[in-house]
Chain A
């Protein structure tokens, strides 16, 4: 170690293992090879499942016809595929993307997979306010997204304030979050029993997280939110590299930790809330997608793009099952995601109690 001269030999070993370099003029970007391959595979799978999702229904439409309709070519199935099924698919895709990213961001900050927006009260806050509004007859898609964002942000702020003790401790944050989630669920129940019975019935369907009958007006606010969030996500992906280190090391590298964390959480809370507003709380997607994605990419931090695509894949695939499993009766997609997510959640809790690192 001491014999080496102070001038460095050029060596490929210096670039972090597993990364490639994308260069353009002065700009250079580190690209994780395996994560890129995983993202591409997930994108292809999601595309295939999307076509399948447009094919199945009361009548089967051949995938060839589906592709024609999506590409805007003349096809007799235009009405069924383009007008009836496509908006629902798009809503599902966007909801999955948003939940996947939101989970990845908040789990990164808390360094704990349990700290997902659907576990720590964000989805529940968004739901409570939305259901409250619905039972009082406010059901317009121009208003609902704002209400869900407000609900999600207020819930997150409350959890933050109650968990703060001169610093944020992940375990306390999660426990207080779960507490708030339960409390907010009871608030939602209160709205349902106190409010107008007919409206409450509609709100109940929404509450299970359903893509049934979701048209373009449901997905539009979410699409805008995702587009506006995109540049911030580039910032977030880089911030993840240091936030995933320990506090002292990150600070020594010149990261303003509190500010960075707040930014990441804010981004995640807004995305999760708007997604909740679009399709109801599709539970466990935000918890599951980033964890599966990370196991596939084997990256040191939770991969944003792969988490997003994994979320979209889970929601779309679950929605096909939800429609076909007990056809002609349709299940809400949230029931399906909960069926996979709940056992995983229990496994996580058992493992954290036995001292394993999650």
Chain B
């Protein structure tokens, strides 16, 4: 018997069990996503990161337990209200054939519109800002299927930004990006969490990243997963340890101080030429 406490954070999971058909991927997981912070989820391929994110964004119905948004069960909230509060960028979204960049980004405004109010000044402002922040303003009239992988990824991020949600869930937003655009997207994610006029507490961001060093560098809160369980969570400085690297990734690693940030830097040990 589990009793549901009222979590301190806006988005949380309690005794969450997630499954595809008969296959249980995540079992009885508890997590609190700190408000106004950047939470980064790491873990080996197939450990259930995307599955967890999809459940937090209501794309996957829990087999057991619940996801709580502002203390209320996600499954019981109106979908449109959720979509105005929580945005999610899936790991590999696909665009309809021949859609233009501006058109796709504009569709992020869906939860703010109705059939008789299809485009407002607020929509215009949100889309302009989102496109400027992802550096795609010049691409507005180009068809999405003619873009490079990196450009396309930035278009999808812009679409999620245009949704203007307080909480944003991003599944591997830096895949396909070259190193400089990776850094730009990560900087942008950090900037989203900075308090501003419209959001005194800043946005809450949850991102799945596969680069551990980027995760350690950009996260306020790091969540390490393995086989559907959370193995460790907390500030990167506390979480990233040689023991954890061995347990989660099966990797012998040395942790040194990042010469730029002073945070943890993972250096894989025993490279092939040192054996």
* Docked complex Cα distance between A146 and B95 (Å): 39
Q: Which of A4, A234, A253 contacts B108 (CB 8 A)?
A: A253
Q: Is B129 among interface residues, defined by CB-CB distance under 8 A? A: yes
* Docked complex Cα distance between A255 and B113 (Å): 12
Chain B residues touching A, range: 35 or more
* Docked complex Cα distance between A29 and B117 (Å): 6
* Docked complex Cα distance between A6 and B125 (Å): 10
Q: Is B241 among interface residues, defined by CB-CB distance under 8 A? A: no
Residues of B within 8 A of A16 (CB): 100, 102-103, 105-106
Q: Is A84 among interface residues, defined by CB-CB distance under 8 A? A: no
B contact residues vs A (CB 8 Å cutoff): 21, 54, 57-59, 79-84, 87-90, 93-108, 110-111, 115-120, 123-129, 131-135, 137, 140-141, 159, 163, 184, 187-188, 191, 196-197
- Knowing A13-B102, A254-B83, the reply to whether A249 touches B90 (Cβ < 8 A) is yes
Residue of A nearest to B88 (CB): A252
Distance in angstroms from B130 CB to nearest chain A CB is 9
Are A2 and B184 neighbours in the complex by a CB distance under 8 Å? yes
Are A4 and B132 neighbours in the complex by a CB distance under 8 Å? yes
Residue of A nearest to B162 (CB): A14
Are A300 and B99 neighbours in the complex by a CB distance under 8 Å? yes
Q: Is A48 among interface residues, defined by CB-CB distance under 8 A? A: no
Q: Is A347 among interface residues, defined by CB-CB distance under 8 A? A: no
Are A248 and B188 neighbours in the complex by a CB distance under 8 Å? no
* Docked complex Cα distance between A249 and B59 (Å): 9
Q: Which of A8, A18, A253 contacts B129 (CB 8 A)?
A: A8
Chain A residues touching B, range: 35 or more
Residues of B within 8 A of A26 (CB): 116-117
Are B110 and A30 neighbours in the complex by a CB distance under 8 Å? no
Residues of A within 8 A of B188 (CB): 1-2
| CB-CB contacts below 8 Å: A243-296 with B | 244-246, 248-249, 251-256
Residues of B within 8 A of A29 (CB): 116, 118-119
A8-23 near B? 1/0 per residue, CB < 8 Å: 1111011111110100
Q: Is A301 among interface residues, defined by CB-CB distance under 8 A? A: yes
Q: Which of B107, B140, B191 contacts A245 (CB 8 A)?
A: B107
**How many A-B contacts if CB must be within 8 Å?**
146
Q: Is A354 among interface residues, defined by CB-CB distance under 8 A? A: no
Q: Is A329 among interface residues, defined by CB-CB distance under 8 A? A: no
Residue of A nearest to B142 (CB): A17
Are B107 and A252 neighbours in the complex by a CB distance under 8 Å? no
- Knowing A1-B133, A10-B124, A14-B128, the reply to whether A252 touches B90 (Cβ < 8 A) is yes
- Determine the main DSSP class of A at the interface with B: loop
Residues of B within 8 A of A256 (CB): 79
* Docked complex Cα distance between A241 and B119 (Å): 13
Q: Is A172 among interface residues, defined by CB-CB distance under 8 A? A: no
Are A14 and B58 neighbours in the complex by a CB distance under 8 Å? no
Distance in angstroms from A229 CB to nearest chain B CB is 15
Are A300 and B115 neighbours in the complex by a CB distance under 8 Å? no
Q: Is A357 among interface residues, defined by CB-CB distance under 8 A? A: yes
* Docked complex Cα distance between A19 and B165 (Å): 25
* Docked complex Cα distance between A29 and B116 (Å): 7
Distance in angstroms from A14 CB to nearest chain B CB is 4
Show 8 residue pairs from A and B whose CB-CB distance is below 8 angstroms, ordered by the A residue: A1-B132, A1-B134, A8-B132, A11-B128, A14-B102, A15-B124, A26-B117, A245-B95
